[in-house]
Structure 1
Amino acid sequence: MTGLSLNLPEDLSNSFADLDKTNGQTASYLAMDVLRDYIEHEKTLTAQIELAVKEANEGKFATDDQVASMRARCWSRNAG
């Protein structure tokens, strides 16, 4: 394992210390966990963007009806 040194703002450092006390994990473990999640999220997002660009370059676009249907579904879920 390699080391990494970070200078954190006091509020973030305090948040890590508070989590350390409440769940029994060290700040280093928590930081690694957060970084793993962030990296996985970014990899997934990048792959989705690359696929969307590829599909757009191939002329694959949603129809107006498909977009309207998606908007209706999303808005109805967020309405209530």
Structure 2
Amino acid sequence: MPVMSIRLSEEMADSLAALAQATGCSKSYLAVDALQGYLDREAWQVAEITKGLGEADAGDFASPGEVAAVTGKWTGTAG
């Protein structure tokens, strides 16, 4: 398994140590878990942007009725 070294601020290191103490998990476990969550969210966002760009390139846009339905949902005028 590859090993990586990172520099943390004192505040972040203290927060990580406190969380590790409170949860009974190792600092390494918590750091890897946080990094995995970040990577998953970023990969999802990139995939959704790529999908949206592909739809836009194909001319697949919302109809005026679909836009009105969403707008109504958020402005309280939905049917």
Deviation of the 1:26 alpha carbon: 0.8
- The TM-score normalised by the length of structure 1 is 0.84
Unmatched tracts of structure 2, length 5 or more = none
- For 1:52 and 1:59, how far apart are their aligned partners in 2? 10
Q: Larger radius of gyration, structure 1 or 2?
A: 2
Give a deviation string over 1:12-65, Cα, whole Å, max 9, x none.
111101100110011110000011111111111111111100000000111233
Return structure 1 stretches of 4+ with deviation > 4 angstroms.
none
Deviation of the 1:73 alpha carbon: 2.3
Identity %: 33
- For 1:53 and 1:32, how far apart are their aligned partners in 2? 31
Residue of structure 1 in register with 2:73 after alignment:
73
- For 1:9 and 1:42, how far apart are their aligned partners in 2? 23
- For 1:17 and 1:34, how far apart are their aligned partners in 2? 14
- The TM-score normalised by the length of structure 2 is 0.85
Residue of structure 1 in register with 2:8 after alignment:
8
RMSD between aligned residues: 1.4
